[in-house]
Chain A
């Protein structure tokens, strides 16, 4: 998986969790929280949807890694690739 594909996975999840947000102008290097109205409940849902849809586990200590789309891609892409290498 490329980092861009990983960003797409994350934006797809956000689109389902927060269909009332406009994601078309999302800047990858800016904190999601500063661009969208996402609260802690929404971030919990991103984590849980990653687990449900893709089997990716994000421990609570790593939640900060999901701050922006870029940081999501840095953090999650290796996890996705490790997972597909296994299967």
Chain B
């Protein structure tokens, strides 16, 4: 029965970070409850069904993949801290990914989970830059990226000390920004290092059945450790007494007391939960970067269309790469293609249907208040534009209508969907631009975890929950 009215720790949000924090705390005997507004776990990294078909949302690939035996990396730390055996995630590696730049992707850098492939691609396409690239990789390896109190430094400036060709610079930034930058144009070098390791030095993998496998493992561990959760049970307010949080007030008005509160809903969003006036301004500015994503289900394997080699393709058609909130609804010039069938699931396993996903930058304000009819029509219109844009960077189809004829079903998420499932203001997929590594808030016993604490990707999200639970609660035990 999840009916207590007092907990040692109340966790807001059952995403990857909240679940990970919950597992740690419950394992070490804390009475913990996770409060989740929705009826599914995972936040934006989740899954849903339409007409009996399961769709994954959020996760393209788990980053930070390293093979068994490689130690001292985020994946290994995460597995140890949560007492998860490697096999439980049953991760399958990517085949290959590419960064394709130019109107038709004329310059293309392949990369795999073997860093030597990217290094040799750089040597082939940018021979004058490869020494600089190696120096950059060494600087990344030497950087202490888990420090909780490093001062922010411009990644663009740091990278330019090693790389002088703006095309290569943009090509390296494109995947790292798309997979984790909450700031436009540039990122903090510490974040760059986390992402460079996560994508290039480590790599991509996913369970055959997708993100639900990871969520299932987390839920099982949490339950086995004695953690409680309440679904469809959002937190409307953090109750403040004498300068500390005394507990949380749920959407239905019930009050729960707690010694500590961990919030995964984001920094400005948590400030709102603490403030007396829910709509008041926040000290932390909400992020501006949001996405649309199209999902196309095919009646055949993408390989039958000639799209059998690429797992992820990061593309840009313009002279420079613009990572910024677009002025229009969507910026289709750059984006990310994901073909989940193209992970190496082994000779005997195939996803039952083909899946083709495409992600582009989008402007929340231009989606937020549309009347339903316009919203649906705009989704339809942009769906077509995204498909056309992305196809330029994949091998040509046998006939122009081959994709349409193979399509069984489609879906699309917008900045509105992101706000709905993450609670992030402005559809800010990676949260606020300024990260708060120590996870402190205005109240001494309220801590942030997840996106706005600043460890990114799903492995980062879980490590964020772990490190905040350790740092603020368990170490002081």
Please give the residue numbers on chain A whose beta carbons come within 8 Å of chain B beta carbons, in ascending order: 16-20, 37, 39, 41-42, 44-45, 48, 51-52
| Contact with A18, one of B68, B80, B470 (Cβ below 8 angstroms) | B80
Please give the residue numbers on chain B whose beta carbons come within 8 Å of chain A beta carbons, in ascending order: 27-29, 68-69, 71-72, 76-77, 79-81, 83, 85-86, 466, 470, 474-475, 477
A44 CA to B466 CA, complexed, in Å: 12
Asked whether, in the complex, the Cβ of B80 is within 8 Å of the Cβ of A48, the reply is no
**Contact A20 to B81, CB < 8 A, known contacts A41-B470, A48-B28, A48-B474:** no
Q: Which residues of A contact B27 (CB under 8 A)?
A: 52
Q: Which residues of A contact B474 (CB under 8 A)?
A: 44, 48
A17 CA to B79 CA, complexed, in Å: 9
A37 CA to B77 CA, complexed, in Å: 10
Asked whether, in the complex, the Cβ of B28 is within 8 Å of the Cβ of A52, the reply is yes
Q: Which residues of B contact A19 (CB under 8 A)?
A: 80, 85
A13 CA to B209 CA, complexed, in Å: 32
| Contact with A39, one of B29, B72, B85, B86 (Cβ below 8 angstroms) | B72
Q: How many Å from the CB of B65 to the closest CB on chain A?
A: 15
Closest A-chain residue to B79, C-beta based? A20
Known: A44-B470, A48-B477. 4 other contacts (CB 8 A): A20-B80, A37-B71, A39-B72, A48-B474
Closest A-chain residue to B76, C-beta based? A20
Closest B-chain residue to A42, C-beta based? B80
Q: How many Å from the CB of B91 to the closest CB on chain A?
A: 14
Q: Which residues of B contact A18 (CB under 8 A)?
A: 80
Asked whether, in the complex, the Cβ of B71 is within 8 Å of the Cβ of A20, the reply is yes
| 16 A-B pairs with C-beta separation under 8 A | A16-B83, A18-B80, A19-B85, A20-B69, A20-B71, A20-B79, A20-B86, A41-B77, A41-B81, A41-B466, A44-B475, A48-B28, A48-B477, A52-B27, A52-B28, A52-B29
Closest B-chain residue to A49, C-beta based? B28
Closest B-chain residue to A36, C-beta based? B71
Q: Which residues of A contact B77 (CB under 8 A)?
A: 39, 41
Q: Which residues of A contact B86 (CB under 8 A)?
A: 20
Q: Which residues of B contact A52 (CB under 8 A)?
A: 27-29
Closest A-chain residue to B463, C-beta based? A41
| Contact with B72, one of A17, A37, A51 (Cβ below 8 angstroms) | A37
Q: How many Å from the CB of B84 to the closest CB on chain A?
A: 10
Q: How many Å from the CB of A5 to the closest CB on chain B?
A: 24
Q: How many Å from the CB of B149 to the closest CB on chain A?
A: 15
Q: Which residues of B contact A17 (CB under 8 A)?
A: 80, 83
A39 CA to B466 CA, complexed, in Å: 14
Closest B-chain residue to A60, C-beta based? B475
Q: How many Å from the CB of B31 to the closest CB on chain A?
A: 14
Asked whether, in the complex, the Cβ of A20 is within 8 Å of the Cβ of B68, the reply is yes
A6 CA to B85 CA, complexed, in Å: 26
Q: Which residues of A contact B466 (CB under 8 A)?
A: 41
A42 CA to B470 CA, complexed, in Å: 11
A39 CA to B72 CA, complexed, in Å: 8
Closest A-chain residue to B466, C-beta based? A41
Q: Which residues of B contact A42 (CB under 8 A)?
A: 80
A17 CA to B77 CA, complexed, in Å: 10
A48 CA to B225 CA, complexed, in Å: 15
Closest A-chain residue to B71, C-beta based? A37
Residue among B68, B80, B475 facing the most chain A CB atoms (10 A cut-off): B80
A45 CA to B77 CA, complexed, in Å: 12
Q: Which 9 A-B pairs have the closest CB atoms?
A: A37-B71, A48-B28, A37-B72, A18-B80, A17-B80, A52-B28, A52-B29, A41-B81, A48-B474
A20 CA to B477 CA, complexed, in Å: 27
Q: Which residues of A contact B80 (CB under 8 A)?
A: 17-20, 41-42, 45
A52 CA to B68 CA, complexed, in Å: 29
Asked whether, in the complex, the Cβ of B72 is within 8 Å of the Cβ of A45, the reply is no
Q: How many Å from the CB of B131 to the closest CB on chain A?
A: 31
Closest B-chain residue to A17, C-beta based? B80
Residue among A17, A18, A45, A51 facing the most chain B CB atoms (10 A cut-off): A45
A20 CA to B77 CA, complexed, in Å: 11
